[in-house]
A and B are shown apart, each in its own frame.
Chain A
Amino acid sequence: MNLTIVLQQLVNGISLGSLYGLVAIGYTMVYGVIRLINFAHGDIMMVGMYFAFTGIAMLFLPWWAAFLLSMLASALVGVIIDRVAYKPLRNASRISALITAIGVSFFLENSFLVIYGGVPKAFPVPSVFGGAINIHGVIFPNIAIITPIVAMIFLMILLFILHKTKYGMAMRALSFDFETVRIMGVNVDLVISMVFAIGSFLAALSGIFWAMRYPAINPLIGIMPGLKAFAAAVLGGIGSVTGAAIGGFIIGISEILVVALFPSLAGYKDAFAFLFLIFVLLFKPTGIMGEDLERGRF
């Protein structure tokens, strides 16, 4: 194991981690506001991939337009899911909402399976994102460099929205005390919709970058990254946006390094994120950045 390989894996881990981070943000925000593990969030990633695929390969849009439309459309899907499936259950037990979320997840997967078929589609990667740079034997695929940068930019924008705008403040307030905020006359449903929109927008963004990194997409592709992103969200302390991003990095980097350092454990990779998660829950149940499970904050 030499330095080149370690560096190589680090680059890889960071870009994978930033993708997990982007998805984890959606989990964390939704959980922060309505205390729901949005099981279908990973599938929104898949929805974003297919929308972008449809835009480029079937409607022949320029890539940036397809990406943007896909993210907006995915945001809309997120909002619709909330309005149709989760909103009627706001006052029900959290378990009912969770079961519904599992139902939504299966619905998305299977309806896309019916619409697009199970055969993996080749995702058309715009040439800007192809290629790689070689610096002293360490290879940086363009996409591996662009991904963390894009993730950072969107994280900054999100933090700005959360801390400097009226709606951002409403979101944060909701995560502290739902009822008081409602009584104070804030349009709670609108704010929740915005949370879903933002979360789904970022999930679609992550999905698109995922698809450019691994350009074969299928309707079940969102399950694994979704689960791992959730693990990342919990690891970072659910309810904390910065925590989610950090959790994503940790899961992404450690997953890749474990396989690189102990190739014989490669088979256990998928279980790894979860063992990590269980470990964290047992010894620091509030995660890295979280303060209290019942009192999330962004």
Chain B
Amino acid sequence: MKRLLSSLVAVLVALTFLANASLAGEVKVGVVLPMTGLVAAFGQSAWKGIKLAQSMEPKTKNGCKVKLILLDNKGMKVETANAVSKLITDNHVRAIIGAITSSDTMAGAPIAEKHHIPMITSSATNPLVTKGKKYISRACFIDPFQGAVAAKYARNKLHAKTAAVMIERDQDYSVGLAHAFIKAFKKLGGKIVAVEFFQSTDQDYSAQISDIKAKHPDIIYMPSYYQEIALFARQARQYGLKQPILAGDGAEAEALIKIGGKAVEGLTFTTHFDPHAAATPLTVKFIKLYEKKYGTPPDAMAALGADAYFILVQAINKAGGCNAKPEKINYYIRHTKNFKGVTGTITIDPKTGNAIKSAVIRKVKNGKFVYVTTVNP
């Protein structure tokens, strides 16, 4: 046993050196994503987007290859912190993309901050992620903005006076976004008649549906992920709950329509981009290549992952390409201005590190996502 284990370790050590042996002329970029565990779906989507973005722009200025080092954080905070630490001190990366969820990102952020390595997250929308941090930026908008956009749309366009809110209690994304929506909706004179809770592993919403049905809201706001929204919509329609459902960017995925079928028809959600409206040339190119490579259109996670990559590469180029220093890369990430990315035109606020970008409202029509409107910040 002992001998077996020690030889195993020896082999692993040897393999580490093999894997780490790097060629000259590379810019190493760390990627920390949940490839396994409960949020693996998002990490895997983002990775697809990042990989495709890399194949579209594999080199920096002066012809250096961008080398991506992907580490799995299993959707766990301890692992995220370890991974970020490893990437910085072991792999000597010059920048990091990741992580997916706000709380994971926040577990890794202090380490990047301490070592002055820029970290750009594709999809952590909690306002606290970048708060007080100099080296953490993001390619997406934050919860309060998205919640306000949904509330405005519900009040002004759908003329909803009352709303029910479905909150996925164990997802900070859902809780944060719901909170932002409720605040904005009340401010606009609306009334919240029901707040229902459920859990990620739940698949049965009949109890919540019965309760909502009894309270007759004008709309239902469900900031959650596509799987839950689709299942909820199916059951809601089955049980005769016919109110319009409004959701957040977590709804955007082909699987929403595949799982939800006719039930998600008319479902409206706020999101980051629409391939047809207000698209940049990069949007068009990216979607075409993505469909060619993976056979499905990209979801929000993939598109945002790609944007994080493109913003980073642009910053590396501005910072000097091959020899770009992390400090400088960070400076140029934070000074990204009117960058025409996959998810629209992005400007990053140098002070906060938050992306300033417009939100898009889309809905499901005839089994397809269609563009409704754009809301500028």
Q: Which residues of A contact B (CB under 8 A)?
A: 5, 8-9, 12, 16, 110, 113, 117-123, 132, 134, 139, 141, 210, 213-216, 218, 220, 223-224, 256, 259-260, 263, 266-267, 269-270
Please, which residue of chain A has its CB at the minimum distance from the CB of B209?
A8
Known contacts: A118-B43, A118-B44. The answer to whether A224 contacts B239 by CB under 8 A is no
Q: Is the CB of A263 within 8 A of B208?
A: yes
> A118, A215, A260: which has the most chain B beta carbons within 10 Å?
A118
Complex-state Cα separation, A259 to B209, whole angstroms:
11
Contact of B202 among A12, A120, A213, A269 (CB under 8 A): A269
Q: Which residues of B contact A (CB under 8 A)?
A: 35-41, 43-45, 169, 196-199, 201-204, 206-208, 210-211, 214, 226-227, 230-231, 234, 238-240, 255, 258-259
Q: Is the CB of B214 within 8 A of A5?
A: yes
Known contacts: A122-B255, A218-B41. The answer to whether A263 contacts B196 by CB under 8 A is yes
Known contacts: A119-B45, A216-B259, A218-B41. The answer to whether A5 contacts B199 by CB under 8 A is no
Q: Is the CB of B238 within 8 A of A141?
A: yes
**CB-CB < 8 A to A8: which residues of B?**
206, 210, 239
**CB-CB < 8 A to B240: which residues of A?**
134, 139
Complex-state Cα separation, A213 to B234, whole angstroms:
10
Least CB distance from B198 to A in Å reads 6
Contact of B258 among A122, A256, A260 (CB under 8 A): A122
Known contacts: A9-B207, A122-B258, A213-B203. The answer to whether A113 contacts B36 by CB under 8 A is yes
**CB-CB < 8 A to A139: which residues of B?**
238-240
Q: Is the CB of B206 within 8 A of A12?
A: yes
Q: From DSSP, what is the main secondary structure of chain A's interface residues? A: helix
**CB-CB < 8 A to B201: which residues of A?**
223-224, 270
Complex-state Cα separation, A9 to B235, whole angstroms:
13
**CB-CB < 8 A to A117: which residues of B?**
40-41, 44
> A5, A141, A216, A267: which has the most chain B beta carbons within 10 Å?
A216
**CB-CB < 8 A to B40: which residues of A?**
113, 117-119
> B44, B210, B231, B240: which has the most chain A beta carbons within 10 Å?
B210
Complex-state Cα separation, A218 to B38, whole angstroms:
9
Known contacts: A119-B255, A215-B259, A224-B201. The answer to whether A259 contacts B207 by CB under 8 A is yes
Complex-state Cα separation, A119 to B255, whole angstroms:
9
Complex-state Cα separation, A242 to B169, whole angstroms:
36
Q: Is the CB of A120 within 8 A of B204?
A: no
**CB-CB < 8 A to B258: which residues of A?**
122
**CB-CB < 8 A to A220: which residues of B?**
38
**CB-CB < 8 A to A5: which residues of B?**
210, 214
Complex-state Cα separation, A141 to B239, whole angstroms:
8
